[in-house]
Amino acid sequence: MLQIYNTLSRTKEVFRPLQEGHVGMYVCGPTVYGDAHLGHARPAITFDLLYRYLTYLGYKVRYVRNITDVGHLEHDADEGEDKIAKKARLEQLEPMEVVQYYTNRYHRDMQALNVLPPSIEPHASGHIIEQIAFVQKILDHGYAYVSNGSVYMDVEKFAKDFPYGKLSGRNLQDIVTETRELDGQDEKKHSYDFALWKKAAPEHIMHWPSPWSEGFPGWHMECSAMGTKYLGEQFDIHGGGMDLMFPHHEAEIAQSCAALGHDTVHYWMHNNMITINGKKMGKSYNNFITLEQFFRGEHELLSKPFSPMTIRFFILQAHYRSTVDFSSEALEAAEKGLQRMQEAYARLLKIQPSAASDQQSAELASTLRQRCQEAMDDDLSSQLVISELFESARTINTIWDGKGTISEADLRELRETWKTFAIDILGLELEGNDAGNEKQTAAYKGAVDLLLQMRLEAKQAKDWTTSDRIRNQLTALGFQIKDQKDGFEWTL
> Which residues of the chain form contacts with Zn ion (CB under 5 A)?
28, 223
Task: Name the residue nearer to Zn ion (CB basis): 66 or 433.
Answer: 66
> C-beta of 138: minimal distance to Zn ion in Å?
17
Q: Please, which residues have CB within 8 angstroms of residue 383's CB and are 6 or more apart in sequence?
A: 316, 317, 318, 319
> C-beta of 223: minimal distance to Zn ion in Å?
3
Whole-number Cα distances in Å, 339 to 288, 335, 491: 27, 6, 29
CA distance linking residue 393 with residue 340, whole number of Å: 8
Phi, psi of 445 (to 5 degrees): -60, -40
Task: Name the residue nearer to Zn ion (CB basis): 223 or 225.
Answer: 223
CA distance linking residue 230 with residue 25, whole number of Å: 10
> C-beta of 248: minimal distance to Zn ion in Å?
5
Residue 437, number of CB atoms within 10 A of its CB:
12
CA distance linking residue 193 with residue 253, whole number of Å: 14
For the chain, give the number of residues.
Answer: 492
Whole-number Cα distances in Å, 135 to 223, 252, 260, 296, 308: 12, 12, 11, 45, 41
Task: Name the residue nearer to Zn ion (CB basis): 28 or 425.
Answer: 28
Task: Name the residue nearer to Zn ion (CB basis): 97 or 243.
Answer: 243
> C-beta of 318: minimal distance to Zn ion in Å?
23
Task: Name the residue nearer to Zn ion (CB basis): 223 or 259.
Answer: 223
CA distance linking residue 76 with residue 218, whole number of Å: 10
Task: Name the residue nearer to Zn ion (CB basis): 219 or 320.
Answer: 219
> C-beta of 41: minimal distance to Zn ion in Å?
18
> C-beta of 28: minimal distance to Zn ion in Å?
3
> C-beta of 470: minimal distance to Zn ion in Å?
58
CA distance linking residue 78 with residue 60, whole number of Å: 38
Residue 407, number of CB atoms within 10 A of its CB:
17
**Pair type for strands 279-280 and 274-276:** antiparallel
Task: Name the residue nearer to Zn ion (CB basis): 187 or 252.
Answer: 252
Task: Name the residue nearer to Zn ion (CB basis): 265 or 276.
Answer: 265
Partners of residue 5 on adjacent β-strands: 12
> C-beta of 127: minimal distance to Zn ion in Å?
12
In 171-310, the DSSP E strands lie at: 195-199, 215-217, 235-241, 265-271, 274-276, 279-280
